[in-house]
Amino acid sequence: MNVLVLNSGSSSLKFQVIATDLDRIREYKDERLCWGEVEGMGGEAIIKFQPRSGPSKTLTAPLRDVGAALDYIVRFIASDRSGVPEIKHTGDFNAVGHRVVHGGEMFQESARIDDKVLKGIEDCIDLAPLHNPNNVKGILAARELFGSDLPQVAVFDTAFHSSIPEQAYLYALPYHLYRRHRIRRYGFHGTSHRYVAFRYRALRGLTREQTNIITLHLGNGCSAAAIRAGRSLDTSMGMTPLEGLVMGTRSGDLDPAIVNFIARKEGLSPSETDTLLNTQSGLLGISGLTNDMRELQSELKEHDDRRVRLAIEIFCYRARKYIGAYLACMDGADAIVFTGGIGENSPDVRARICASMEWAGLHLDAQKNNDAIGREALISAGDSKLLAYAIPTDEELLIARDTVRVILGEPHPS
C-alpha cells in the first residue's frame, strides 16, 4: 500500500509517502518513497521535495490553503518530474494517514476516519485550538481530493498516553472541573515516545512487557515519558503541550500564580499571556537570542554568553529533574532513551543531562555518546546499570503502519 502521511499545520504541510503492508511491517521492509514540506501556505509557498533517490528539489507556487497545497504535491508526486516511479497517477495512493494532535478522552488508539471520528476530532478543538482545526482541514482537503472512498486514518499524539492512571493525569483542582471540562493531563508526542520504545525493545530483543524506560523527546517541543511494561505511565506535557520540560519557545512548568501576575503587571490579556508562555519563553526567552539549540551551543562556544549558558543549563536541569521523578514513579527503569532533533544530535546536551547520575546507576560512555549523532546507538558505558540510548524518532513510519493496520482490521497496532 502507498500511504500518504500528512501533518497539517497552520501554514505548513509536511508529507511522506511510505510503501508498507502487513508483510513489510513484519519483515521491516517499509519503504519511504518521498517526503517533503510545503511552507508559507496562504501566499507564495515554498515546496521542498525529496525523492528516495536523486537530488532534492525546491519549488515555489502560489498555494492559498491546505487544499491547494495537497492538490499540488499529489499531482507533482504523480508526475514524471518527481522521480517516484511507484506513483504514476493519483489512483496509486492507497490510503492517507493523518497526524492529529489531540484525541481527548475519546481516542485511545488510531482510528479510521468517518463522519463520527471527524466529529470527535472537531469536538477536541476546544482542547487544542491551535492544532486540531488544521488537522481537520487536512482531512477535509484529502477527502475532497481523493473522494470519500479512499481510506483515511487519524493517528493521535495523545493516544499512547491514554494508559496513564488517574493519579498521574488528574490535577489537584476541584474535581467538577475535570467532569465539566475534561481538564486533565493528556500528554503529546505519543507517536514519538511509542516509536522509540518500540525500537528500544527491538534493539534489545525484549517484549513490550519487558520495556521499562524513560523516553526524552527533545526537539522544538520537548517531553518526557515514563514507560512501564511498554505502556505510558506518566508524561510531562499536560492538558496542552505547555507543561513540563523547557522547550524552544515554551516555558514548561511554572508556578500557576505567575500567569495572572504577568497579565496584571504587563497589562496583557489572557490570550496574550498564553502567547508569551508558548512562543516567547523557553530557550528563546532565557537566552534572548534564539530557540535553536544548535545556535545556542555555537554561541556558547564562541562568546560564552551568560544567558545562553543559563538557557542550556536550565533546559538540562529540568530534564534531569524529570528523570529523577520518573525513576521514583516507576520504581526504577532499565534505560533512558533520547530522541528529537536535540536528543538525537547533541552529545553535549545528553552529557549535561546525564551528568552526576551515577547514584542512579547511569554512566555515559563519552566516546559512544560523541559518536552517536543522528543514528541509533547505545551511549552508556559497559558498567552502567541504567542504560542510555540515542534513537532517532520516526513518527511518519508509525503513522503509515497504523494506517495499514487499522484499514486491514489488525487490532491494537503497536
Instruction: Give the number of residues written for the chain.
Output: 414
Please report, in angstroms and rounded to a whole number, the separation of the first and last CA atoms in the chain. Answer: 18
Nearer to ligand ADP, 64 or 301 (CB): 301
Interface with ligand ADP (CB under 6 A), residue total: 13
Confirm or reject binding of residue 294 to ligand ADP (CB under 6 A): yes
The catalytic position among 157, 234, 394, 402 is 157
Estimate to the nearest angstrom the gap between the alpha carbon of 264 and the chain centroid: 34
Confirm or reject binding of residue 346 to ligand ADP (CB under 6 A): yes
The crossing angle, in degrees rounded to 10, of helices 306-329 and 347-354 is: 60
**Which of 9, 282, 340, 392 touches ligand ADP (CB under 6 A)?**
340
Confirm or reject binding of residue 392 to ligand ADP (CB under 6 A): no
**Which of 2, 82, 162, 345 touches ligand ADP (CB under 6 A)?**
345
Q: What residues does 34 pair with on adjacent strands?
A: 17, 51
Q: Which residues in 244-273 contact ligand ADP (CB under 6 A)?
A: 248
The 10 Å CB-count burial string (b at 16+, else e) for 163-193 is bbeeebbeeeeeeeeeeeeebbbbbbbbbbb
Nearer to ligand ADP, 104 or 221 (CB): 221
Look at residue 233 and give its three-state secondary structure.
strand
Nearer to ligand ADP, 89 or 294 (CB): 294
Q: Provide the grid cell at 166.
A: 488517574
Nearest-CB residue for ligand ADP = 341
Euclidean distance between CA atoms 313 and 324, whole angstroms: 16
Q: Is residue 114 among the annotated active site residues? A: no
Confirm or reject binding of residue 342 to ligand ADP (CB under 6 A): yes
Confirm or reject binding of residue 190 to ligand ADP (CB under 6 A): no
- Tell me how far, at minimum, the Cβ of 115 lies from ligand ADP, in Å: 31
Confirm or reject binding of residue 400 to ligand ADP (CB under 6 A): no
Judged by CB under 6 A, the stretch of 64-72, 216-224, 270-278, 397-405 that binds ligand ADP is 216-224
Nearer to ligand ADP, 342 or 404 (CB): 342
Judged by CB under 6 A, the stretch of 20-28, 335-343, 354-362, 381-389 that binds ligand ADP is 335-343
Long-range contact set of residues 282-287: C-beta below 8 Å, sequence gap at least 24: 282/246, 282/247, 282/248, 282/249, 282/250, 282/251, 282/252, 282/315, 283/246, 283/247, 283/248, 283/249, 283/311, 283/312, 283/315, 284/248, 284/249, 285/249, 285/251, 286/246, 286/310, 286/311, 286/314, 287/311
**Which of 36, 51, 120, 219 touches ligand ADP (CB under 6 A)?**
219
Nearer to ligand ADP, 12 or 94 (CB): 12
Count of CB atoms situated within 10 Å of the CB of 95: 22
Euclidean distance between CA atoms 296 and 298, whole angstroms: 6
Please say whether the beta carbons of 234 and 164 come within 8 A.
yes
Judged by CB under 6 A, the stretch of 111-119, 300-308, 324-332, 342-350 that binds ligand ADP is 342-350
Binding-site ranges for ligand ADP (CB under 6 A): 219-221, 248, 292-294, 297, 340-342, 345-346
